[in-house]
Amino acid sequence: MRDAALIDHIAKLPHARANFKQLVKELGAKGAKREDLENALARLTARGDLIELRSGHFAVTARSREFAVGRLHMHKDGYGFLIAERPVEGITGDIFIPPDSAE
């Protein structure tokens, strides 16, 4: 399965999330296809197209306002800014992280 098709598949699921076992079942990934799926998930996670929320549970980042991939810049006073790698829908500029939520 192509990377774009895998992202599209996950994006259509509730909350744009899926777990590995679910994907294996839905995509009929057996044998070599299962290994290809594992490699695709690892590649997409490394690129920032997916976030692995916990072991084997993935979320699409490009279509989510809940998750963003980027660089976190923290200030000594406890607040910070997320400099997103991709634009986040409805947000212009960096994302402010208040001190009480940066823990």
Position 63 pLDDT exceeds 70 = no
Is the entire prediction scored with pTM above 0.85? no
The answer to whether 73 and 93 have CB atoms below 8 angstroms apart is no
* Mean pLDDT for all residues in the chain: 88
Confidence bin at 15 (pLDDT 50/70/90): confident
Confidence bin at 97 (pLDDT 50/70/90): confident
Q: What pLDDT shows up at residue 65?
A: 65
Position 20 pLDDT exceeds 90 = yes
Q: 29-59 pLDDT, tens per residue?
A: 999 999 999 999 999 999 888 989 999 999 9
